[in-house]
Amino acid sequence: MNAGPQDTNWIPRSFQLAATNLAKDAIERFVKPHQIIGLGSGPMAAAIVREMANFDGKETLECIPTSFQIKLEAQCSGLRLIGEDRMIQTDVVFDGADEIDASFNMIKGGGGALLREKVVHSAANQIIIAAESNKFLQTFSWPVPIEIHPFAIEIVRKKLEDLGGKPKMRMLKEGYPYITENGNFIIDSVFELSSDIRRQEFDLKNIPGVIEVGLFTKHATAYYKAKEDGSFEIIENP
């Protein structure tokens, strides 16, 4: 599978009921008045944002979106948006994932917001991840999204190959390179992922020109696993 820009509003029909149910539960459990909330990406995260429209006291919430798409969702839900200068006080972030392995490492960045998502994760007191059940796997199958500075395309590509990667520039269907909201490019690279994902994340991030890596090794407070029958499972503090 080749990662690429995704519509964060789209949820497979078979998971739509589960998305609604888990969104209600997540807000009941983790949202309180006067919180600062990070808004990550992905269809399940978008479902949670839409459900916040019904939260009693939503006018007291202050939200930090990580992408333009999720910003639009928040505005449609009547949520109040604030700037990144308040990010250090983030109480909770709701986010999705492209894949989650058996050790609860994640691949993120299919929607292109990996840099901002990882920054908000680092600031939040609690991280809540919601994803469809088919995204929970023993090992990763997706290529790793890597956000790079435009000046460093060729050198980063070469160093990724030296590390055993098979890098491929992310392109739009029109044939132009995909550009992130930060003005950078994304390379999606298949790797023989090691047993030490945290070390691999560090090694990739340490390449000059690499801005951020779509390997997320910081564990969440809770993971919501949406199921096709409309139910969901919660995995807390794995």
Sheet arrangement for strand 99-100: 99-100, 106-107, 215-216
Distance CA 5, CA 110 (A): 5
Torsion over CA: 20, 107, 10, 91 (sign): positive
According to DSSP, the residues that pair with 178 across neighbouring strands are none
According to DSSP, the residues that pair with 225 across neighbouring strands are 131, 233
Active site residues: 117
* Residue 221 phi, psi dihedral angles, 5° rounding: -70, -40
Instruction: Give the three-class secondary structure for 137.
Output: coil
Q: 222: closest CA among 25, 5, 82? A: 25
Distance CA 74, CA 56 (A): 16
